[in-house]
Structure 1
Amino acid sequence: MKTTQNFSEISRNYSDTSILMHEAISSSIGLAGTDHKYLGLIIKKKELTAGEISEITGLSTGAVTGLIDRLEKRKLLKRKSDKNDRRKVLIVPDVQKAMELLEPVFTILQKRTRELTSSFSEAEINAIERYFTAATEIMKDITQNLKNKQ
């Protein structure tokens, strides 16, 4: 049976490798850092304000402005006035353009991940899903606690 220490080391390695992979993905498509991850969050919301992006990501308003500028320059999103409040600016992703840019990388990643997961039993998949679901909630809780301390 694996020790907790071994599991912690494997989990840290997974997390570190994930960060490095996402940095490489961004770099390969001409974006900075993890901009494509932030773009993914924006796509999930469909349209939102810069303030909402700051709230979701924890980035400062200045960092969000830089993010929006970089993604807008690549035509991955646009700013548009809110029809109900012209003072408010909405950030709207260009989902099609983003998918065209990201799909080649993620197609390979998804294919290899499907190949890997197909080698697991249903019980193993259930255990992995249970772990990731619970671990995600722990990370959300810690993130919120850290934001509340700021």
Structure 2
Amino acid sequence: MRPDAHEVFRRYLDAVGLNGVALAEAAGLNTTDWYALSVLEQEGPVTSGLLAERTGLTTGATTRLIDRLERTGHARRTADPSDRRRVLVEHVPNLDIDAIVGPARRHLAAVLESYTPDQLDLLFDFFDRAAPALHAATAEIRLGSADR
């Protein structure tokens, strides 16, 4: 392994984090709202409990998050068709998310063009495996910060 691997990885994580902040700003949202909107857009309608779990927010904070997203027209509460007692939160597609993430896609596409198809398969396998690992790390960090 490269002797500077941890520094390279840290710079990468910092760049991803900073890009997330810029994406949220471009959408006119705070970073938590942007992430929640991304969860809703990618997963479809979810319960507020699942949204709380995915964002790491308390149930009260998640209710306020959903209220903000509803007020700005980015989400709506709907009855669960399989259990009308349950409420789901769904994405309302009123932002051009593709345009907002366009610069990142364009710059990263330029980087990815230099890789062979086999290398791309490896990279995307890494992305598939890294996302759940980072979610697990996030949960561990949050759990640890609760102990402090």
Return the letter of the residue paired with 2:22: A
| Structure 2 gap ranges (5+) | none
Whether the 8 Å CA contact 2:44–2:90 is kept in 1: the answer is yes
| Structure-2 residue corresponding to 1:77 | 75
TM-score computed with the length of structure 2 as normaliser: 0.79
Task: For 2:56 and 2:68, locate their aligned partners in 1 and report how far apart those are by CA, in whole Å.
Answer: 18
- SS class of match (1:53): helix
Aligned length: 145
Alignment match of 2:63 (pick from 62, 65, 74):
65
CA apart distance, 1:32: 1.1
- SS class of match (2:110): helix
Distance 1:125 1:55, change over 3 A: same
**Cα displacement string for residues 31-69 of structure 1 (whole angstroms, at most 9, x for unaligned residues):** 012422221111222112211211233211122112212
Whether the 8 Å CA contact 2:35–2:55 is kept in 1: the answer is no
- SS class of match (1:97): coil
Q: Give identity over the alignment, percent.
A: 27
| Structure-2 residue corresponding to 1:97 | 94
| Structure 1 gap ranges (5+) | none
1:21 aligns with 2:22: no
Whether the 8 Å CA contact 2:112–2:120 is kept in 1: the answer is yes
TM-score computed with the length of structure 1 as normaliser: 0.78
Return the letter of the residue paired with 1:49: T
Task: For 2:70 and 2:139, locate their aligned partners in 1 and report how far apart those are by CA, in whole Å.
Answer: 29
1:129 aligns with 2:124: yes
CA apart distance, 1:97: 1.3
Whether the 8 Å CA contact 2:26–2:100 is kept in 1: the answer is no
